Amino acid sequence: MNWLCVPQRPDTRPGAMLAGAVLALAGLSGCNKDEETTWTQYNAEDNTLSIDVGAAEVEDAATVTLTSNTGSVEIGTGTVDPAGGPIGTTHTVTIEVYEDYASDIDRASVRLDSGDRGQDEYTLDEDATGEGYWVIQLESVGDEGETRTDTLTFRLWTEDATSSDSG
């Protein structure tokens, strides 16, 4: 919400009560014109891949099938290339949403869980064609000699624009 309607102290002069009531009604209706955007996750919450951070060698790409929120329909793929490597490796994270579902997706993100280092969420960039391709490059970070397994959770979102405009 960008604006907060705060009740004003009423003016008690004659005729001001009616004007104040009209302004209050106008102000209240103005407060209801904010639009809120809510996001609904489109895919299953268990669409994940593990990444070996601090591995001695660069590993091959890994891919996971992305499924609908119930897990019963395949809707795309998520890929991390490479799926592991030394600290400082640049990983390309790609999401491809199948053509039948591409127009349903308004945003794509990946949640990165690094255990004791915490969690971060990154929004992927949509391909200019808008055909269901999303991508981001992430560089692994860690201390010298550190090894760990991080988990990437692929998240597809639909936008639900709701308006509380009452009039």
Strand extents, DSSP E, 20-88: 35-41, 48-53, 62-67, 74-81, 84-85
Q: Are residues 53 and 10 in the same domain?
A: no
- CB-based contacts of 87, cutoff 8 Å, min separation 6: 53, 54, 140, 141, 142, 143, 144, 146
pLDDT value of position 4: 21
Domain enclosing residue 87, as ranges: 39-161
Is residue 166 assigned to a domain? Answer: no
Q: Are residues 81 and 150 in the same domain?
A: yes
Q: Are residues 137 and 155 in the same domain?
A: yes
Buried b (16+ CB within 10 A) or exposed e, 129-138: eeebbbebeb
pLDDT in tens, 27-67: 444 444 456 789 999 999 999 999 999 999 999 999 999 99
Q: Are residues 146 and 120 in the same domain?
A: yes
Q: Are residues 108 and 122 in the same domain?
A: yes
Quote the number of domains for the chain: 2
CATH code of the domain containing 146: 2.60.40
pLDDT value of position 140: 93
Q: Are residues 48 and 110 in the same domain?
A: yes
In one-letter notation, the amino acid at residue 161 is: A
Quote the pTM value.
0.74
Is residue 78 assigned to a domain? Answer: yes
pLDDT in tens, 74-126: 999 999 999 999 999 999 999 999 999 999 999 999 999 999 889 999 999 99
pLDDT value of position 35: 64
Q: Are residues 81 and 142 in the same domain?
A: yes
pLDDT value of position 26: 41
